[in-house]
Amino acid sequence: MKENIHPKWYSEAKVLLNGEHVMTVSSTKPELNVEIWSGTHPFYTGQQRLLDTEGQVDRFMMRLKKRQEMLAAQEAAAERRSPMAVAVEDLGLGKRAENALREAGITTVGDLMAQLAEGEDSLLAVPGVGQKALIDIKRYLRAEGLLA
């Protein structure tokens, strides 16, 4: 066996908890500093304690609150972006069809849906709205999931 390769062995090493001597064990160090041991551990004492190191619970609650605020803001933004509230000008139908729909009092996708509920012919009856505009309107409504 090689000489002088093993660490020094302390048969009377002190275990310290918050600077207080708790017990004696054998170790390669003369003193062991511990944060928790069997005399204070909830499993052995039967008591539950919440160890809040550096405000972990507070930080978690702050992150949770921020997440809930962010979700609420996203829901509000989604309601404002509702497909029914989109202006007819945003559909890209062309100036002639857009102007004709505006003159007929149809300014949003919701108005278009109401007109289409009466039938395609009621929308085609608006002067300036032709088959191409109707096809583009239906394509948009299908893409948004508003029309089957």
Tell me the pLDDT of the chain (148 aa) as tens digits. 688 888 899 999 999 988 888 899 999 999 999 888 877 777 777 776 666 667 788 888 999 999 999 999 998 887 777 777 788 888 888 888 888 888 988 888 888 888 888 888 888 888 888 899 888 888 888 888 877 7
The answer to whether residues 99 and 135 belong to one domain is yes
The answer to whether residues 92 and 125 belong to one domain is yes
pTM above threshold 0.85: no
The answer to whether residues 107 and 119 belong to one domain is yes
The answer to whether residues 133 and 90 belong to one domain is yes
Give the domain extent around 42: 10-49
In a domain, 43, yes or no: yes
Which CATH number characterizes residue 136's domain? 1.10.150
Q: Are the beta carbons of 24 and 15 closer than 8 angstroms?
A: yes
pLDDT at position 14 is 94
pLDDT at position 53 is 67
Nearest Cα neighbor of 41 from 32, 53, 31, 51 is 51
In a domain, 147, yes or no: no
The answer to whether residues 96 and 136 belong to one domain is yes
pLDDT at position 49 is 60
pLDDT at position 51 is 64
Q: Are the beta carbons of 14 and 30 closer than 8 angstroms?
A: yes
The token pair that represents 34 in the structure block = 């511990």
The answer to whether residues 76 and 87 belong to one domain is no
51-87 exposure pattern, b = at least 16 Cβ within 10 A, e = fewer: eeeeeeeeeeeeeeeeeeeeeeeeeeeeeeeeeeebe
Which CATH number characterizes residue 40's domain? 4.10.80
The domain tally of the chain equals 3
